[in-house]
Amino acid sequence: MSNGALRVIDFGPVSPLQSQTLWHAIAHGVSAGSPPTLAFMQPDAPYVSIGFHRRLDEIDGTYCRAAGLPIYRRMVGGGPVYLDDGQIFFQIILPLAMAPPVRSQAVRTLLAPAVDAFQAVGIDASIEPAGDVVVGDKKICGHGAGQIENAVVVVGNLITRFDHTAAARIVAAPDEESRAEFEALMRRYVTPTPAAATAFAAAATMAYATRLGLQPVDGQLSALETEKLAEIDEDFVDDDWVRGSERAPTGVWQVKVKAGVFLITARAGGSSVRVSIGAGRILRVSLSDRGLNGATKGTEKSLIGMSVSEASATLTRFGFGGDRLAGLLQTIEQAVRA
Amino acid sequence: MTVEMVSGFAVATDLAYDLDGHMWILVLDSGHVRIGMDALGLETSGTLSQLSFRSGIEVVRGESFGSLEAEKFVGPLISPLSGRIVAINEAAMADPGLVERDPYGEGWLIEVEPSNLVTETAQLVGDRELIVDGFREKVRQYKLEGVIAE
């Protein structure tokens, strides 16, 4: 039972491993009866984290090993991300019964106090309909959510400094042009919002307590959570856990920059398409097929602003080479999932 | 299969439902039971991006047989029946959009060999009138809560 308390734990700088395992341990504790909890922490070194369902080969493992970047799989959603000490993580962890029962509602409701906190420290943040926390059209906060036993967790971060190059480097891009495009899209759509971590934590504590109707109380891990942390510390470095469940490859390479903004590359039979998509429209496209006969640049330009299906229909009119590229675009259209 | 529109949502009225969990069951000729998600549950989950199922395990009614991800939320898929999972829908795992396009057909999730079918089916809603009334009430509730648009 919560007894009306919001337990607040500010762990400060922690190891990359414990910047993930601490809040998983707390979720098990909250599931077993610990009070609703708001936690803060900052990884003291860079690392890579991947969402629960995602394929490990989305990450360039060879590079990460060479660069000394550990990889940890989290039990919430989203893709592979680069994390470092320029990011202060926060997690709100509630018993299942306290969270909105509908998933789409839970994330938005539990990110709303974080938006209040950003605003309180002078950042003009809002939540887009698609769920990202933004300033204007730039994402300022990575987030993920999940149910762990009988607790709901929503995680996010205050990004005081963001290394776009490192973030682009850790993904297993099919070629360096795709990686460069990914970095360019991140520079366009992801931005840090420098703010004092202590001020943000204080504002977030007030905002979560107010919105949840709870009284903030400084706390620490329970005995059960400490015990669970030791277990999870071991589990999260287990190769099988990091590898994740078997999933078939999708046939395309896809990265999501923010909600609605994707970079996707598809290849087949000597043809390839790389397309950047924003709000359902083509921002940039790169085509390769011997059948285009020197019309490549003009064709690429003509497709900008179209939806993927419109571009596919347009390419079909180009004959054999266009058909091949149109087929790749159809594959891309099917692959785009929010 | 008979599909009716109830308060704007497709409902196959010849299946049996766990209305709170938004799961349906269909008893197959083999005696196995096919399980899927209903259209209202899909609407309130948000766009599905990932699905995974735990093949070959014994599942207990009310417990997880897999997980879904929508809007970056990873949550459990809760079984309406107990039994051993004998089939998983690989096509739905590869393309979660299939579940949204055809929730009562090709978008099924798993099949189980049930261990307590009679008792547990009695706890589901299988009567057409009750299914329709149940969905109508759920939609009304979700609209009141602002979960789905008016």
pLDDT of residue B145: 83
pLDDT at B69 over 60: yes
pLDDT of residue A3: 60
Please give the average per-residue pLDDT across B53-69, as a whole number.
94
With cut-offs at 50, 70 and 90, classify the pLDDT of residue A105: confident
pLDDT of residue A185: 98
Rounded Cα–Cα distance for residues A127 and A139 (Å): 9
- Chain position carrying tokens 């899209």: A185
Burial class (CB in 10 A: 0-12, 13-18, 19+), A289: buried
Distance spanning both ends of chain B, measured CA to CA: 28
pLDDT of residue A320: 65
Backbone phi, then psi, for A42, in 5-degree steps? -140, 120
Contact A145 B52 (CB under 8 A): no
> A residues 32-51 near B, CB within 8 Å?
51
The better pLDDT of the pair A159, A313 is held by A159
Rounded Cα–Cα distance for residues A267 and B6 (Å): 43
Rounded Cα–Cα distance for residues A336 and B47 (Å): 11
pLDDT at A263 over 80: yes
Q: What is the 3-state secondary structure (H, E, C) of A104-118?
A: HHHHHHHHHHHHHHH
**Helix or strand holding residue A143 (H, E):** strand A143-148
Tell me the pLDDT tens digit for each residue of A273-296: 999 999 889 999 999 988 877 788
Please give the average per-residue pLDDT across A31-48, as a whole number.
98
Closest by CA to B128, choosing from B37, B13, B18, is B13
pLDDT at A129 over 90: no
pLDDT at B79 over 60: yes
Residue A25 half-sphere exposure toward CB, CA atoms < 13 A: 25
Q: Within chain B, where are the H helices? A: 39-45, 90-94, 97-101, 117-121, 128-144
Contact B71 A338 (CB under 8 A): yes
Please give the average per-residue pLDDT across A308-331, as a whole number.
85
Does the beta carbon of A77 lie under 8 angstroms from any beta carbon of chain B? yes
Of B74, B95, B142, the CB nearest to A146: B74
pLDDT at A123 over 60: yes
Strands A71-73, A47-50: pairing kind:
parallel
Q: Per residue in A28-51, is it b (16+ CB within 10 Å) or e — as a string?
A: bbbbeebbbbbbbbbbebbbbbbb
Please give the average per-residue pLDDT across A157-171, as a whole number.
98
Closest by CA to A278, choosing from A177, A174, A188, is A188
Residue A72 half-sphere exposure toward CB, CA atoms < 13 A: 24
Closest by CA to A20, choosing from A95, A79, A70, A62, is A70
What are the strands, taking DSSP E only, across chain B?
A: 3-6, 9-12, 16-18, 23-27, 33-37, 48-53, 58-59, 64-70, 73-78, 83-88, 110-114
Number of helical (H) and strand (E) elements in chain A, helices listed first = 11, 16
Spatial CB neighbours of A246, under 8 Å, sequence gap ≥ 6 = none
Using an 8 Å CB-CB cutoff, list chain A residues near B67. 52-53
Shortest distance, CA B118 to any CA of chain A (angstroms): 28
Give residue B99's Cα distance to chain centre. Answer: 10
Shortest distance, CA B55 to any CA of chain A (angstroms): 11
Rounded Cα–Cα distance for residues A256 and A111 (Å): 20
Of B47, B75, B76, the CB nearest to A337: B47
DSSP string, A15-62: -HHHHHHHHHHHHHHHHTTPPPEEEEEEESS-EEEE-TTS-GGGB-HH
Of B52, B74, B142, the CB nearest to A76: B74
Tell me the pLDDT tens digit for each residue of A42-96: 999 999 999 999 999 999 999 999 999 999 999 999 999 999 999 999 999 999 9
Q: What is the mean pLDDT of chain B?
A: 94
pLDDT of residue A338: 41
pLDDT at A1 over 50: no
Q: 3-class DSSP state for residue A152? A: strand
pLDDT at B122 over 80: yes
pLDDT of residue A172: 97
Closest by CA to A73, choosing from A92, A57, A90, is A57
pLDDT at A107 over 70: yes
Q: 3-class DSSP state for residue A271? A: strand
Q: Which two tokens stand for residue B41?
A: 């549950």
Burial class (CB in 10 A: 0-12, 13-18, 19+), A324: buried
Rounded Cα–Cα distance for residues B76 and B66 (Å): 6
Rounded Cα–Cα distance for residues A292 and A299 (Å): 9
pLDDT of residue A250: 76
